[in-house]
Amino acid sequence: MHPHTRGKSKGVVVRALVSGAAEIEVVDAVAHPPKAWPMKRLAPEGLFEVFITKRPEVFKYQLRIFHPGGSVRRIYDPYSFLPTLGDQDLYLFNEGNEHRIHDKLGAHLRDFGGITGVSFAVWAPSAARVSVVGNFNQWDGRFHPMRSLGASGVWELFIPGLGEGELYKFEIRDQRGGLRLKTDPYGTYFEPPPNNAAIVFDTAKFKWSDAAWLERRRAEAGRLDRPMSIYEIHLGSWKRMPEDNNRPLTYREAAPQLADYCVEMGFTHIEVLPLAEHPFDGSWGYQVTGFFAPTHRFGTPEDFAWFVDHLHSRGIGVILDWVPAHFPRDSFALAEFDGTHLYEHADPRQGAHMDWGTLIFNYGRNEVRCFLAANALAWCERYHLDGLRVDAVASMLYLDYSRQEGQWVPNKYGGRENLEAIDLLRHVNGLVHHYHPGVVTIAEESTSFAGVSKPPQDGGLGFDYKWNMGWMHDTLRYFSKEPIVRRYHQNDLTFGMLYQYAENFVSVFSHDEVVHGKASLLFKMGAWHIAEKAANLRALYAHMWGWPGKKLLFMGGEFAQSHEWRHDQSLDWHLTQYPDHEGVRLLVRDLNKLYTSEPTLSGTDFSPQSFRWLTCQDADANLVAYLRASADERTLFAIVGHFGGGSRDYRIGVPRQGFWREVINTNSEYYGGTGLGNDGGRSAEDLGRDGFSQSINVRLPPLTTTIFKWQAEG
């Protein structure tokens, strides 16, 4: 409705485009008795108009629509409502500082004085026209063109009468006249491929019951010394339902089983491979098209909220893989969104990933910065996540990542660092910690970039933790060798201590190490038969849990899965009936319980004073031994790793007299070993060794790690 003058007559004009309407009337929505004006059909497609004289100002009205066959409905005209975004919202968005833009762009259920509907808003600054299309208008972009909100580049429209469950997309006409059908970048729920339409969904309707968990998490904010043993999972292949066409578990089916298993195994957190919507199963979730939407594969967004809530009720934290490093080229998603390179760089030297065939965000564009920052916050706010593990950080940090000379553009100082991406990471980490105290951010960063887990005010990126990729590669390289040649690779075991305290490290054996022909962890071990491979793996795990740093293990590794990980099949749970596999699982369980119950092992992960080599130079013995000590040195653990193929007695210097009790022996029969060990422990003797005035004489079975705890009396 608009004020209008025709000749000498003043009034208002109303136009409406309604598909399939036989007649339409404009009805005064507040007049008593009701007053109506019939509209004149101007075009067979359903364009109607009426000029109402003697009403010079717009008024609240409805459209009464008569359909062939006699049905009648009354609706409010979408174009009679003011925009749902204010000038301040748009200013902050264009400036890059609107932290809650996810509550304003996208599709949201609204109530305007009792009139309910859905408000739609999308950023498409170069579009010539943007329309909302869906089943409600036969996917015809002529019926609901959106209003341009000026220089902001945002298009907006409130459509009354729509509700939850409506499918929709944005039809965008670019400046060249081409049409493209795009899904909502801020969509919260999507239908399956091939249509990939967004679905209106109320993400705030779930009733949470984890207030005590969140309060406890808030109270522990900044405490990096808390135990953290993470079970990394891919939800689609952790367990499947063979009796139901081998389908994966839903969010609601998986949560109780995962919680039971993690509690039994002693894991403190799960880390889930990306659950944001993605069209291709084989990407494992790392090629995201719906950044704000839990994938439809396992249920609704409400089901995912239930999943997190249930795990919290069982004391298990939930960390999600977050992927701001790239996005796929799918034509229905972000790529060339409004006919221009909107979210990505136009120059392929900056905007295209050479390895993955994907596109790189333009981190220097304010609105893209807003999109990514709001995305991180939305996952924490809407789904109460306890952490974000940020994927492929190295690819964000370096402009020449996986590029040859001439394939990249230096920064303004001539360097290779991506200054905009660095600024974004600092910005996101700061916002997450500000709005959600206790939520942790973890970087998968595979280079030696300095200060990844240091505060921005100290020149760092602001992450809480960083994956220790160097330790992982060195250690696996050592264990992949046959015991007879390991003496030549002792440096692989010891080099990591030179930089161990440069960052807040998580020791990891992740999904990346058990795919693409790399073999499972079990089959990486340098041995000829399963029993020896299992012994190697047990020794490796006890060394990992004794070594400083938080812990992460990918699913299947805890019971020595034989096959590489397959994203479209269940783990081989039947293997746990065999001692070589079940023994590994029982050991991981006991290592977790030791780690989480002993502050000396978990609370000193980032304290250099807590670690001391006992011996690390005897390469011929394939042996390392080190001490983990509490701050007051009242609690001491000696970890002795013997990775040779034969048994031996060996004297190791220790800092205290007393009894050193054997608390873990990976050669125990209980874990599938031979049972050879130290009969419960060893008493220190006054025989100097390794710079100490006393020592213990330990029996070292082959391929075994033994953990001793000091006590004053035997």
| Nearest to 164, CA basis, from 103, 108, 206 | 108
Distance between CA atoms of 215 and 219, rounded to whole angstroms?
A: 6
**What's the number of CA atoms in the CB half-sphere (13 Å) around residue 199?**
19
DSSP 213: H
- Find the helix or strand (DSSP H, E) in which 48 lies: strand 47-53
Q: How would you classify residue 329: left for phi > 0, otherwise alpha for psi between -120 and 50, otherwise beta?
A: alpha
How far apart, in Å, are the Cα atoms of 370 and each of 55, 63, 92, 108, 332?
A: 44, 38, 9, 18, 21
HEC letters along 599-666: HHHHCCCCCHHHEEEEECCCHHHCEEEEEEECCCCCCEEEEEEECCCCCEEEEEEECCCCEEEEEEEC
Distance between CA atoms of 618 and 640, rounded to whole angstroms?
A: 12
Give the orientation angle of helix 301-313 with respect to helix 251-265, to 10 degrees.
20
Rg (CA), the chain: 31
Asked whether 655 and 626 are in contact (CB, 8 A), the reply is no
Q: Can you list the pairs that 209-212 forms with residues at least 24 positions away whose Cβ atoms lie under 8 Å?
A: 209/309, 209/313, 210/308, 210/309, 210/312, 210/313, 210/384
Known catalytic residues?
391, 444
Residues facing residue 499 across a β-bridge? none
For 473-608, strand residue ranges (E) read 505-509, 550-554
Tokens of 617: 């130079």
Within 8 A by CB and 6+ apart from 43, the residues are none
Distance between CA atoms of 327 and 306, rounded to whole angstroms?
A: 28
| Nearest to 37, CA basis, from 17, 20, 13, 70 | 13
Within 8 A by CB and 6+ apart from 486, the residues are 478, 526, 619, 622, 643, 644
Residues facing residue 361 across a β-bridge? 344
What would the DSSP string read from start to end of 58-104?
---EEEEEE-TTS-EEEEE-GGGS--SS-HHHHHHHHHT--TTGGGT
**What's the number of CA atoms in the CB half-sphere (13 Å) around residue 105?**
31
Asked whether 159 and 78 are in contact (CB, 8 A), the reply is yes
Helices (H), 181-281: 211-219, 235-238, 251-265
Q: Which residue is associated with the tokens 């007051």?
A: 632
